[in-house]
Chains A and B, each alone.
Chain A
């Protein structure tokens, strides 16, 4: 039997969400962004809230998120997505507003916007992809780059004395009273992706409670930037990233774990 004979509607057991477009992903093979996009869009589809969802895209690898997510989206200046989302959520309080940001965007240039949106307790979802490097600009050091990690702007490894240690953004913002939910997830295995999706769903549902920010960090890979194969990158992530950025809930329903 040919493969084409098997591809029939009655044989279909799974398909990608309608909220992902057919555009070719601009991400490198092995990158976690595609999965994180899918999970987010699956949640929006399953909750039946596409008409009420407004996304804010960052600057970074996911700058073109609006090419892939089939929803209304606004592309923000570098780091300013939480400010952009603040205004949208204030003016459209019945909508589901989320930002999708990388580590350079959220934890370096946009630190002030992140912290103050969290502190005000805006009713938005922040999805924060932490892969410890600047992917789009070609592998420079990020605020979350691990100590000793080599990047194009820390060619001899990140040195704590001169470059500081990687910033734990989720722990930092979890201490602000405006944050209702803070969790750290991963998407590199089915098991992790399923957990991450539950977290994303919880975050979107939380925005209806009007109790503040839901903040989901996804520790992800950057095999191109890390100069590894996808499998090597995932293994390296588990061995090096997870010990420094441990997975799990940090704050749930406004209470620190």
Chain B
């Protein structure tokens, strides 16, 4: 039975993981996402569904446990926050290279370094541009509510197995820690071992039966084979862009100005849209739900309609680069965002639109480039 509950984002994600029929979770505590493993441990998922939950000795061990579980066709997740994700990146690159399905959650905090435990969106580059070594991408989902923290778990597993690829849920300390009402879906049955073998026998290392042995590796010492592996990954990413791109348009039909924002910033920008419209400014919001693939074409088309675009994120300006690439200099694009764990207010966001875009709207490209440093 679906249930309405009041929950923290991290807890909703943890509960949704059990209900999605996950086989295992491996993690290591780090603020602001420790509630995920705390919740899982207290729920006794081994009794509820038979799910394995294990606190690893480090993020390195946790992501490699994920690699081990995924290599046998099991449905597996790990979560962490920024510095911990940096540690996991080697394993994430291996997951991508070995084409293994897995879900990784990053409840982002401010950086670089130990940074802060406060919310941030400064891991955008790390999340969508590869992060680890080599030619790969993650499918990246950006929840902007507690409801989406829950809903995206199942979506992430579906994509992970559809493409045999690691999927990242890119949340942040705000979405992870805040409480909202959430509708939880019904419990899904976990696959039995027999079902796992039947379904994934073509590739998973579940024990060699009357077939060729299955090998999970990301190593190809023959250059042509390695290039073919990379091309295979690129073909997957192209298919993702064609079939599984997700975004949301808010008040865009008559918009003369546009915010682009994801995750917690999208919630704030949505309020700024309301404030702007109350003042007579026709502003809309494009919310990328997937950050990879990115809604490039939608932005390219909106750039024919609007006079300027403000990219809003809790960083010194990362996603703004992708907005600019998509817009191809048709209209001015500026960045606004606070860092260090400070969360911008809707009023600040609207003011930034007025100052950086509406007031300076007539001054075009060269000015935009100068000011784009910060």
Enumerate chain A interface residues (CB-CB to B < 8 A).
50-54, 56-57, 63-64, 66, 70-77, 80, 83-88, 90-92, 95, 112-113, 116
**With known contacts A91-B72, A92-B206, A77–B67 Cβ distance under 8 A:** yes
Taking a contact as CB atoms under 8 Å apart, the answer to whether A54 and B213 are in contact is no
Docked Cα-Cα span, A74 to B72, in Å, equals 9
Q: How far is the CA of A199 from the CA of B66 in the complex (A)?
A: 30
Assembled-state Cα–Cα distance A64/B222 (Å): 13
Could you show 20 A-B contacts with beta carbons less than 8 Å apart? A54-B206, A57-B217, A64-B219, A66-B213, A70-B213, A71-B208, A74-B72, A74-B216, A80-B67, A83-B61, A86-B54, A86-B65, A87-B65, A87-B66, A87-B68, A88-B71, A91-B23, A92-B193, A95-B206, A112-B61
Question: How close is B309's CB to chain A, nearest CB, in angstroms?
Answer: 41
Alpha-carbon distance between A50 and B216 when the two chains are bound, in angstroms? 17
- Roughly how many angstroms separate A255 CA and B6 CA in the complex, as a whole number? 51
Docked CA distance A84–B206 (Å): 13
A116 & B57 in contact (Cβ 8 Å cutoff): yes
Which of A70, A76, A83 lies at the interface centre, i.e. has the most chain B CB atoms within 10 A of its CB? A83
Q: Is the CB of B215 within 8 A of A87?
A: no
Decide: B64 and A80 in contact? CB cutoff 8 A. yes
Query: Scoring B residues 58 to 84 as 1 if CB is less than 8 Å from chain A, else 0, what string do you get?
Result: 101110111111011010100000000
For the complex, give the distance between the alpha carbons of A95 and B69 in Å: 13
- State whether A72 and B207 are in contact (beta carbons under 8 Å apart), knowing that A77-B94, A87-B24 are contacts in the complex: yes
A80 with B61: CB separation less than 8 A: yes
Question: Which residues 328-355 of B sit at the A interface, judged by CB distance below 8 A?
Answer: none
Check B61 against A75 for contact (C-beta < 8 Å). Answer: no
Knowing A63-B219, A75-B215, A75-B218 touch, does A84 contact B72 (C-beta < 8 A)?
Answer: no
Asked whether, in the complex, the Cβ of A72 is within 8 Å of the Cβ of B76, the reply is no
Tell me the complex Cα distance, A17–B205, Å. Answer: 21
- Could you tell me if B207 and A50 are in contact, using CB atoms closer than 8 angstroms? yes
Q: Which residues of chain B from 144 to 159 have a CB within 8 Å of any chain A CB?
A: none
Which of A66, A84, A112 is within 8 Å of B65, CB to CB?
A: A84
Central interface residue in A56, A63, A85, A88, by most chain B CB within 10 Å? A88
Which residues of chain A are near B72, meaning CB under 8 Å? 54, 74, 88, 91-92
Q: In the complex, given contacts A70-B208, A88-B71, A90-B69, what are 12 additional A-B residue pairs having Cβ atoms less than 8 angstroms apart?
A: A53-B207, A56-B68, A63-B219, A70-B213, A74-B68, A75-B219, A77-B64, A77-B94, A80-B60, A92-B207, A113-B61, A116-B61
| B52 beta carbon closer than 8 Å to chain A | yes
Nearest-CB residue, chain A, relative to B62: A83
Q: CA A151 – CA B198 in complex, angstroms?
A: 49
Main secondary structure of the interface of B (DSSP, over half): mixed
Instruction: Report how far A112 CA is from B59 CA in the complex, Å.
Output: 11
Q: How far is the CA of A74 from the CA of B71 in the complex (A)?
A: 7
Asked whether any CB of chain A lies closer than 8 Å to the CB of B187, the reply is: no
| CB proximity of A37 to chain B, nearest CB, Å | 14
- Give chain B residues whose Cβ lies under 8 Å from the Cβ of A56: 68
Q: A75 to B24, Cβ gap below 8 A? A: no
Known contacts: A54-B207, A83-B64, A84-B65. The answer to whether A75 contacts B216 by CB under 8 A is yes
CB pair A72–B215 under 8 Å, yes or no, is yes
Measured CB to CB, the nearest residue on chain A to B57 is A116
Q: Which of A53, A66, A75, A87 contacts B76 (CB 8 A)?
A: A87
- Does A113 lie within 8 Å of B208, measured CB to CB? no
Contacts of A50 in B (CB 8 A): 207-208
Docked-complex contact A83 and B207, CB < 8 angstroms: no
Q: Is the CB of A73 within 8 A of B58?
A: no
Complex CA–CA separation, A57 to B217 (angstroms): 9
B208 pairs with A84, CB closer than 8 A: no
Given A77-B94, A113-B57: A54 in contact with B64 (beta carbons within 8 A): no
Interface centre among B65, B69, B209 (most CB of A within 10 A): B65
Interface assignment of B139: CB less than 8 Å from any CB of chain A: no
Query: A66-B215, A95-B207 are contacts. A84–B193 as well, Cβ < 8 Å?
Result: no
- Give Cα A113 to B87, complex, Å: 14
Residue picked from A63, A73, A84, A112, most chain B C-beta under 10 Å: A84
Complex Cα spacing A255 to B61, Å = 28
Contact with A along B33-70 (1 / 0, CB 8 A): 00000000000000000001010111011101111110
In the bound complex, residues from chain A placing their C-beta under 8 Å from that of B322 are none
Knowing A88-B72, A113-B57, the reply to whether A72 touches B213 (Cβ < 8 A) is: yes
C-alpha gap A102/B26 in the complex (Å): 25
B54: chain A residues within 8 A (beta carbon):
86-87, 90
CB of B207 within 8 A of CB of A113, answer no
**Contacts A83-B64, A83-B65, A84-B65 given: A90-B208 contact, CB under 8 Å?**
no
| List of B residues within 8 angstroms of A64 by Cβ | 219
